[in-house]
Structure 1
Amino acid sequence: MTAAHNTIEPMDEASLLAGLEGVAPQQSGSVWMRPAEAIAAGLLVGIIALLLAGVVSRYVFSLPIVWIDEVASISFLWLAMLGSAMAVDRSEHLRLTLFVGMLPEKVQGLANTLALLLMALFLGVMLRPAYEYAIEESYITSAALNIPMSFRAAALPVGVGLMLILAVVNALKGSTLRQVAISVVVIAVVTMLLWLVGPGLKQIGNWNIPIFLVGFVALFLVLGVPIAFCFGLGTLAFLTFTTSVPVFVMIGRMDEGMSSIILLSVPIFVLLGCVLDATGMGRAIVEVLASLLGHVRAGMSYVLLGSMFLVSGISGSKVSDMATVAPALFPEMKRRGHRPPEMIALLATGAAMAETVPPSIVLIVLGSAAGVSIAGLFTSGFAIAMVLLLVLAILARWKARHESMAGVRRAPISVIKKAFLVAAPALVLPFLIRTAVGEGIATATEVSTIAVLYAMIIGATLYGGISLKKLYSMLVETAALSGAILMILGAASAMAWALTQTGFAAQLVQAVQGLPGGWMTFMGVTILIFMVLGCVLEGLPAIVLMAPIMFPVARSLGINDIHYSMVVVTAMNIGLMTPPIGIGFYIACKIGNVSPDEAMKAIWPYIGALMIGLLVIAAVPYFSTAFL
C-alpha cells in the first residue's frame, strides 16, 4: 500500500499505491505472464458482458438465462486464481513491513527471502490437495450446463502452481545463495521440531489457537510474509500438527471464501474506480462542490469531506478517492492557510468516514461473510456516514476559525451552472447504485455491471473517453488487484473455519454472555478488537476472519445485524487511519506528500471526533436501523 516509514506495502515499492484497492500500480508483470494477463482481462470482460446480458434478459424481456450464473462462477474462480498469480508476479500482495524495515539491510534481505520461501512452502503443500480437489469435483455435474465441475475447480491447481513457480523464481532472483540456504534450513528445522512435539500439542486442545492462529500468524506478519499467506500458513500448521483434519479441507474452504457469487461485484467495482479515475468523473464532483461551498469559512474542508462522501459512493475505493480529491483541493486549502498536516488528517479521517457509503467493497464482503443483507447494509451505510460526516464537519469548522478568507469570492452562478452540468452525470451514479440495491431492483453484482457500463458510456461521450490500450491496462490491473483481495478472503475463510471447528466460537458466546453490562460491554470489546485488527490487517481480512465468530455472539445478545455491522466497519476504519500502524494513514501521507511524523500530531483530534461518532452509533441503534 505505501512505503512511508516502511509500515505496510506491497512486496515491491514500485507498486506503492496498489494494495487492496483500485489504483493501478506502475509496475508491469513478467513477459512470460502476458498470456495469463490477456486471459484474465478477457475473463473480466466476459463476466461483465454475461452479467449485463442477464440483467437485460431478466428485467427487459422477463426471460432469465439460467446458465449465466454458472458460467460467471466458473470464470470468476479462474479470474481470482490468475489474478492472484499476477499479484505474486508483480509483488502486489499486501504485507506488513514495519518490523522488517527496522532490521539492518543485510538482515532485511534474509527476511524477504524467508518470506518468499514460506509462501512457496504453503503453495507447495497445497498443490496436491488442489489437484485432488479438482479431480473430486469432476464427479459433480453442474445443474444448468451439465458439465463436470472440474472445469471450474481446475483453476485452483493451475493458480497454485503458477504462484509456486513465481514465488520460487522471485526468491532465487532477488537473493544470494547464502540467504536461500539459511532460509531453507530455518524452515526445515522449525518444521521438524513441530513434527516432534506434535503429539504433545494435540493434548493441549484449544491452547493451540493462541500458539498457531495468533502467535504463528503474528510471527509471519512480522517477517513480512504477505497477509494472505500468513493466514494460510497459520491454518496449515494448526491443522497439520494439532489435529487429524486433512489439509484437503482447506482447499474447499478457500474456494468457498473467495468465489461466492456475491463477491463477483468486487473486481467490477475495482474496475469502476479505475474508469472514474481515468475519465475525471470524480474530479468533476469535486469541482461542483467547490463552486457551491468554497466561499464559506471552512468551505474547502466541507468540500473535501463532501467529495470523499460522494466519490466513495461511486468507486468504493479509499485509495482512489483520496488520490482523486487531494490534488484538486490541497493547493487552494494551502492558499487559505490550512497546514498540510491538518489537510492530511482531514483526508485520512474523511476516507474512514466514507467507507460505509455504497458501493463499499468492505460492506459487500461483510454481507458475504456474515450472511447480512447487502441491501440493508447499503441503506444503513448512508445514514452512518452522515453521522460521521457531521462530527468531522463540526471539528473542521472549529479548526478553520482563523482561516484566511482574503480574496475569496462566491462563485458566479454561471460557473456553478457549468460545473453542475459537467458533474451531473457523475453525481447521478452513487444515488443510482444505492437506490437500485436498497430498493431491491437489482443485486450489488448486477448494479456494479450497470455502473461500469454507465461510466464507460458517459466517460466516452462527455469526459474524453479511454483509449483501448489504457482500457486493457486497467483490466489487467483490476484482475491483479482483485486476485490479491480474493486470495486474502480465501485464506481468511479457511482460518475462520478452523477457529469455529475448535468450538472456540461457542466458548466465546458463553464467556461474553457472562460479562457485566450485557450488549454494551460486548460493543466495547468489538470496537477494541476491530480497531486493532484494522490497524494491522486492513479491513477485508479482519472481517472475513472475525465475522463468523463475532456475529453469532452479537445475535445471541439481541444486537441487530445491520447495527452491529455498522459498528464493526466504523471501528475497523478508524483503526485503519490510526497511527503509528494504520495503513490508510500512511496512504494519505504519501498522496499528500507530507511527513507521517508531522501528520501524526495533527490527526488525533480527528480520530477523537470519529470515536465520538462511533460511540454514538454503537449506543443508539436507531441511526443504523431507522431507514431499513
Structure 2
Amino acid sequence: MVTILLVSSLLLFAIGMPVAFAMVLSAAAAFLFLGNVPLMVLPQRILTGADSFPLMAIPFFLLAGNLMISGGLTQKLSNLALALVGHLRGGLAQVNVVNSMMMGGMTGSAIADAVSDCKILVPVMLKSGYSPRFAASLTAASAAIAPMIPPSIPFIIYGSIAGTSIGQLFLAGVVPGIMMGVFLMIAVNVIARRRNLPRGEQPNLSRILGALRTSGPPLMMLVIIIGGILSGVFTPTEAGAVAVLYAIVLTTMFYRSLRVADLPKVLLETSVQTGVIMLVIAAASPFSWLLAREQVGQDVVQMLALIGDNEIVFLLLLNAILLVLGMFLDATALLIIVVPVLVPVFAALGLDPVHMGVVVVLNLMIGLVTPPFGIVMFVVCNLLKVNILDFVREIWPFLLALLATLLTVTFLPELVLFLPTLLMR
C-alpha cells in the first residue's frame, strides 16, 4: 500500500498536477487497494485534517502581515535596515538580509517576504548596479529567514501535528533565524569585496534614531506576540487575532497609510492564501493517516535500530532526506506527511521535539530556495524576470551559508533550546 501511495503521488507530481489534488488521488488509490477501509473515510480525514484550533492562527498571522505590507510598513523596516547596515560593503545587499530578519516578525512567510523585497528593495538594488540574478538569489535565500522568526506558519503546523508547544517553537526559532542572517551577511561581505559592490552613506545618530522612531511601532508586533504568549495572556492562536487588531490600528489610525476601503482587497488576498495552505493541509491528512495506519513510523524506528542509536548518523540522514524532499515537494505538505512519521523516531532516540521541529522546518525552508523546484525560487525568478540557470549560478554561496546554519543548529541544540528553557520551562 505504501508503495502505491508514494509511487502514484510522485507520478502525479511529475506530470504537473497540483500538490493537494495529487495527494488526494494517491490516497484514494491506496484506499481502493486496501479494500477493507470504507472510501467514506477519505473525506472524513480531509475534514479532520483542517479541523484544528492551532491552525486558526495561520489566517490571522497572514492577515496581519498583509495589512502591514499593504500599509507600506515594510518600507519603514527597509529604511531602518538601511540606516543600520547600508554603509557596509554591498550595503543594499546587507539591507536585504536584515530586512528579512525584521519581516519575519510580521509575516511568518517566506513567499510574502520575497514578494515584498522584490517590489520594494530589489528595484533600488538594480538602480544601484546590482545584477538581477544576484538580487534574485539573495532575495530568495534571505526569504528563508522569515519563517524562522516568530510568528512562523511552519512552526504552527509542526506544533499542531507533533503536540509540541507552539510558544516554545516560536522562541526556539529566534536564534537560528538570527544565525541565518549573520551567515548570509558574511557571504554577502565576501562577494561584495570580490566584486567591489557599492557602499551606502555612513550612518549618523540622528538618522538611526529617526528610522527607529518610524519603524518602532511595526517592530512592536513581535514584542506583543511573544510577550503575550510568555505571560500567558493569550495563546498563539489568540496572539494572531491580537496581531490583526494591532495591524489594523497601526495602518488605518496611527500611520493612516491604509484606508478602510482597502481592507476588502487585503481580506480577499488573505483568504486566497489561507485557502491554498489549508487545502494542502487537508489534502495531506489522509496521506499521513495512511502512513500512520501502516505503521511506517515504527518501521522507520526498526530500520534505525539496524544502524544503532548513533544520533549523529541519524541527524545527518534526516537532514539529507529532508533537503532532497524539500527540493521537490511543497513544505506544508511535507510537514503533514513526515512529522507523524518522525515524532515516534524522535521519542525513541530521546531527541527534544522542539529542537527537532526547528531542524525539520529549517531543512524545508532551505528546500524552498533550492533548485530544481523551490517555490520561492520560482516566485522570485518570475517577478524579476531572471533565468533559472542564472539564478542557480548565483545561489550557491548563499545556500552554503544556510547549510552552515543548519549543521550548527543540528549539532548544537543548546543554541535552539536556550530561549525556550530560559523563558518557558
Deviation at 1:547, TM superposition (A): 0.5
Deviations 1:133-167 (A, max 9, x none): xxxxxxxxxxxxxxxxxxxxxxxxxxxxxxxxxxx
Aligned to 1:565: 357
Q: 1:368 to 1:288 in 2, by over 3 A?
A: same
2:165 alignment partner in structure 1: 373
Q: 2:338 aligns with which of 529, 546, 562?
A: 546
1:420 aligns with 2:212: yes
Instruction: State the number of aligned residues.
Output: 420
Work out whether residues 283 and 324 of structure 1, in 8 Å CA contact, stay in contact via their aligned partners in 2.
Answer: no
1:620 aligns with 2:412: yes
What are the equivalent positions in structure 2 for 1:220-239 lying under 5 Å apart? 220-239=12-31
Matched, 1:515 2:303: no
| Match status 1:358 vs 2:153 | no
The residue type equivalent to 2:99 in the other structure is: S
Matched residue, 2:423: none
Q: Distance in 1 between matches of 2:386 and 2:198?
A: 25
In structure 2, the residue matched to 1:209 is 2
For 1:156-171, list aligned pairs within 5 A: none
Contact 2:86 2:199 in 1 (8 A): no
Task: Give me the whole-angstrom Cα distance separating, in 1, the residues matched to 2:120 and 2:213.
Answer: 18
On the 8 A contact 1:322/1:591 being kept in 2, the answer is no
CA contact (8 A) 2:252 2:259 kept: no
Name the residue aligned to 1:447.
Answer: 239
Match of 1:295 among 87, 91, 99: 87
Of 280, 283, 288, the residue aligned with 1:491 is: 283
**How far did 1:326 drift?**
3.3
Q: Structure 1 segments of 4 or more deviating over 6 A? A: none
Identity within the alignment, %:
29
**Residue 479 (structure 1) aligns with:** 271
- SS at 2:145's partner residue? helix
Please give the secondary structure, in 1, of the residue aligned with 2:344.
Answer: helix
For the pair shown, the structure with the greater C-alpha radius of gyration is 1
Give 1:336 shift: 4.9
Counterpart-to-counterpart distance in 1, 2:417 and 2:204: 41
Match of 2:327 in 1: 535
Matched to 1:215, the amino acid is V
Q: Deviations over 1:90-114 (max 9, x none)?
A: xxxxxxxxxxxxxxxxxxxxxxxxx
Contact 1:456/1:465 (CA < 8 Å) preserved in 2? no
Which residue matches 1:313? 105
Change (3 A) 1:415 1:558: same
Deviations 1:527-581 (A, max 9, x none): 1222222222221110011100011111111111011111101111111111122
Equivalent in 126, 130, 144 of residue 338 of structure 1: 130
Contact 1:531 1:573 in 2 (8 A): no
Task: List gaps (5 residues or longer) in structure 1.
Answer: 1-207
Q: Identify if the C-alpha distance between structure 1 residues 245 and 314 changes in structure 2 by more than 3 Å, giving closer, same or farther.
A: same
Q: Deviations over 1:272-327 (max 9, x none)?
A: 12211110111111111112221222332222111101112111122221222234
What per-residue deviation string (whole Å, max 9, x for no partner) do you get for residues 53-72 of structure 1?
xxxxxxxxxxxxxxxxxxxx
Higher normalized contact order (CA 8 Å, seq sep 6+, divided by chain length):
2
Q: TM-score, normalised by structure 1?
A: 0.64
Whole-Å separation in 2 of the counterparts to 1:616 and 1:494: 35
**Relative to structure 2, which stretch is displaced further, 358-367 or 334-343?**
334-343
Alpha-carbon shift at residue 408 of structure 1 (Å)? 4.0
Root-mean-square deviation (Å): 1.9
Q: CA 1:530–1:421 in 2, change beyond 3 Å: closer, same or farther?
A: same
Q: Which moved further from structure 2: 422-431 or 319-328?
A: 319-328
Distance 1:503 1:465, change over 3 A: same
**DSSP 3-state at the match of 1:372:** coil
The verdict on how the C-alpha distance between 1:481 and 1:353 changes in structure 2, with shifts beyond 3 A counting, is: closer
CA shift, 1:583, in A, is: 1.5
Equivalent residues of 2:167, 2:230 under 8 A apart: yes
Following superposition, the deviation at residue 411 of structure 1 comes to 4.2
The residue aligned with 1:606 is 398
CA separation in 2, counterparts of 1:283 and 1:408? 17
5 Å-filtered alignment, 1:579-594, equals 579-594=371-386
Paired with 1:327 and 1:237, the residues of 2 have a C-alpha distance of 43
Judge conservation of contact 1:492–1:545 (CA < 8 Å) in 2.
Answer: yes
Provide the C-alpha distance between the structure 2 equivalents of 1:517 and 1:505, rounded to a whole number of angstroms.
Answer: 16
Letter in 2 for 1:287: N
- Secondary structure (helix, strand or coil) at the match of 1:425 reads helix
CA contact (8 A) 1:260 1:368 kept: yes
Residues 245, 567 of structure 1: alpha-carbon distance in 2 compared, 3 angstrom cutoff: same
State the SS of the aligned residue for 2:373: coil
How far the C-alpha of 1:423 sits from its partner, in A, is 1.3
CA deviation profile, 1:183-213 (whole Å, cap 9, x unmatched): xxxxxxxxxxxxxxxxxxxxxxxxx211x21
Aligned to 2:227: 435
**What TM-score do the two structures reach when normalised by structure 2?**
0.93
